[in-house]
Amino acid sequence: MRALADVNILLALGDPLHSSSPRVSKWFDSLPAGSELLVCRSTQTSLLRLLATSAVMQGKPLSLKKAWNHVDALISAPGIGFAKEPEGIDKTWKGLCQPFPASPKVVADAYLAAFAIENGVSLATLDSGFRQFAGVRIVEALFD
């Protein structure tokens, strides 16, 4: 199985104090051999931002140097890889965005959905809102 990781999955995997860490870690550890969880530039950027945010890190944000070290270690861990932006993503991304009224969250979510669709992979997320995008395959095992 190959899946693009939403930032909430990456944060839960990397922060044992995250409320979803036990569930996400159990899911990740149970993946079949040869599975790959993918990080893209967008989720990498979001993870760096969140790791350096006091409110997210229970008042103990990481310095950017430590955040980069954390992200580098995560991406180089077994079963995790980095995916470059696929060709043709713009058309899919626009198609997923344009039916919605103005919404900054839809723009970022539609990008991740388009990224997964164009790479032919599932999307690993804790956000059920991704179900609103036609054509994206969600890893349902992550939902209660």
Q: How confident is the model at residue 17 (pLDDT cuts 50, 70, 90)?
A: confident
State which residues form the domain around 41.
2-142
CA 136 vs CA 71, 76, 85, 99, 110: distances in Å: 26, 26, 16, 16, 10
Residue carrying the six token digits 């760096």 = 48
Angle (CA) 94 118 80, round 5°: 125
> pLDDT digits over 86-130, tens only?
998 999 999 999 999 988 889 999 999 999 999 999 999 999 999
CATH code, domain carrying 125: 3.40.50.1010
Task: Look at the chain and report how many structural domains it folds into.
Answer: 1
Binning pLDDT at 50, 70 and 90, where does residue 35 land? very high
CA 42 to centroid of chain Cα atoms:
8
pTM of the model: 0.93
- Would you place residue 144 in the very low, low, confident or very high pLDDT band (cuts 50, 70, 90)? low
